[in-house]
Chains A and B, each alone.
Chain A
Amino acid sequence: MQDNELDKLFRSALDDLEIEPSAKVWTGINSQLNADKRRRSLVPFLSVAAGIILLITVGLLFMPEITKVNQQQTSANKVTENQPVAKSLAAVKASPAVTTANSTNKKVAAKVIASAGSFAAVKVNNEQIRHKAAKTPELKEIVAGSNEGSAPVLASRGNDLINPAAPDARNGITGGPEVDDLAFKGKPQLAAAQLPDVDKLKPAPVKKHRIRSLGDVFNVVIAAVDKREDKIIEFSNTDEDDATITGVNLGIIKVKKEK
């Protein structure tokens, strides 16, 4: 049988075929059309209601929100003020040990602490130290290496009664564990001191406003009044017809759709 013969067979047999559907098909269509009609008549009512609710919420929440924002800003400033203290604290903690160490190691240790995290400085220190263990430029090991001289002293300061005679740095095998310990302890402190600086260096996120949809119009208007990062209400900025709410921030209640 040829392809077109086959097609013709089916077409001629089925083209004018009629099969009476059961009554439930129309019932289904009817109820779906009714649902559509109800939804359509609700839309204008709902949009007006939503508008009124939005106005009331904005009106009620704006004044308290503005004062809250100010409070948040001042507390943020306080936090940044605290960081230098933490930094100097770490330095102070290390310095008593440094003073008792010999002069060359003192220099090195002071440098490492002052420039902790900075790679270039670490390299310089590496050259100055020239210890067998301190050849890799990794911060942790540098701290360990540079403290090799001062750490036993630190240990001796802690264990004065047990080990009164502080051993020489290079021969002090017993000082090893303590040295490691110190390096681990020192690292988070130094890291903590560095972090805020990194944050400050980051440029503030710049939002581009290009109005393409109704949602964008709302977002721009809201952004003009609400300066927080999460606005009181955020709309989707896709090109779709209807503006969908993607985020709500009522101070205590925050809802945000992930992008």
Chain B
Amino acid sequence: MFLEPPYTIQQLIDRCKAGERKAQELLYKQFAAKMLAVCMRYATDRMEAEDMLQNGFIKVFQKINDYRGEGAFEGWVRRIVVHSSIEYYRKHHKMLQVIDVVEMANEPSVNPVAASNLDAQILINLIQQLPPGYRIVFNLYALEGYSHKEIADMVGISEGASKSQLSRARNVLKEQIAKMEGKSYGYAG
């Protein structure tokens, strides 16, 4: 949507490979909003998400010569952004191992609504309140479509840990959604 008419993505990629800053900026603007939405799911808040986005795009431009045009460019960018989000957690949190005690700090601070009406921002809030280990596994499995084996390799945990974190994450999310639905019925009734 920010793309100026004379350029196609491929042209921009080629100019980025040559290190042209203007092309890099245009390419960034093309994908930034979509990728920030991805980062928001991996982060605890927007500031963290923007840090992840920044690291991700720096990597995109550093590695752009490796992109050979196999598969969609957006998918390639997304993979790099996801990887650098995981990397961010490795560096800043160091707590991707299984956390047994689920402690939700507070109830999600969202208005009570029915599941069908849950808008994106509320769902993102729910994910953000998961413990980081749960959040990453849930994102990678349910939203990116990676297998447990791939997740184990990416995150550096066992396949079993990936499975158990996924099921715990789902349970917490279901519980939270049920709570909100209950409240919403309560108010409606």
Identify the A interface with B (CB < 8 A).
1, 3, 6-7, 9-11, 13-15, 17-22, 24-26, 28-30, 32-33, 36-37
Q: Are A10 and B37 in contact (CB under 8 A)?
A: no
Tell me the bound Cα distance from A36 to B57 in angstroms.
Answer: 13
B residues whose Cβ falls under 8 Å from a Cβ of A: 19, 21, 24-25, 28-29, 32-34, 36-37, 40-41, 50, 53-54, 57-58, 61-62, 115, 118-120, 123-124, 127, 141-143, 167, 170, 173-174, 177-178
**Do B33 and A18 have beta carbons less than 8 Å apart?**
yes
- Cross-chain contact B28 with A29 (CB below 8 angstroms): yes
Contact A9 B33 (CB under 8 A): no
- A6 and B174 contacting across the interface, CB-CB below 8 Å: yes
Q: Chain A residues near B141 (CB, 8 Å)?
A: 7
**CB atoms of A11 and B143 under 8 A apart:** yes
B174:A17 contact, CB within 8 angstroms: no
CB distance from A72 to the nearest CB of B (A): 48
Which residues on A sit within 8 Å (CB–CB) of B19?
37
State in angstroms the CA–CA spacing of A7 and B137 once bound together: 12
- Say yes or no: A25 contacts B53, CB within 8 Å: yes
Task: List chain A residues, Cβ under 8 A from B58.
Answer: 29, 32-33
5 more A-B residue pairs beyond the given contacts A25-B36, A29-B57, with a C-beta to C-beta distance below 8 A = A7-B141, A11-B142, A14-B120, A15-B143, A26-B29
A15's nearest neighbour on chain B, judged by CB, is B143
**Interface pair B57/A13, CB less than 8 Å apart:** no
**Complex Cα gap A33–B29 (Å):** 16
Closest to A26 in B: B28
Does the CB pair A14–B143 fall under 8 Å?
yes
Residue of B nearest to A27 (CB): B54
Q: Which of A15, A17, A30, A32 contacts B21 (CB 8 A)?
A: A30
Contact status A33-B61, CB under 8 Å: yes
Inside 8 A of A10's CB, which chain B residues have their CB?
123, 127, 142-143, 173
A26 vs B57: C-alpha distance when bound (angstroms): 9
Chain B contact surface mostly: helix
The answer to whether A9 touches B37 (Cβ under 8 A) is no
Q: Are A17 and B120 in contact (CB under 8 A)?
A: yes
Cβ–Cβ contact A33 & B33, under 8 A: no
Bound Cα distance A24, B127 (Å): 25
What are 29 pairs between A and B in contact, CB < 8 Å?
A3-B170, A10-B127, A11-B142, A11-B143, A13-B118, A13-B120, A14-B37, A14-B41, A14-B120, A14-B123, A17-B34, A18-B34, A19-B33, A19-B40, A20-B33, A21-B33, A21-B36, A22-B50, A24-B50, A25-B32, A25-B53, A25-B54, A26-B25, A29-B54, A29-B61, A30-B21, A30-B25, A33-B58, A33-B61
Contact check: which of B21, B24, B36 meets A19 at CB < 8 Å?
B36
* Neighbouring A residues of B143 by C-beta, 8 Å: 7, 10-11, 14-15
Which residues does chain A contribute within 8 Å of B115, judged by CB atoms? 1, 9
Return chain A residues, CB-CB under 8 Å to B32: 20-21, 25-26
| A46-B124 Cα distance, complex, nearest whole Å | 48
Cα distance, A19 to B41, chains bound together (Å)? 12
Q: Which residues of B contact A26 (CB under 8 A)?
A: 25, 28-29, 32
Let me know if B36 and A6 touch, CB within 8 A. no
Option from B29, B124, B174, B178 in Cβ contact (under 8 Å) with A14: B124
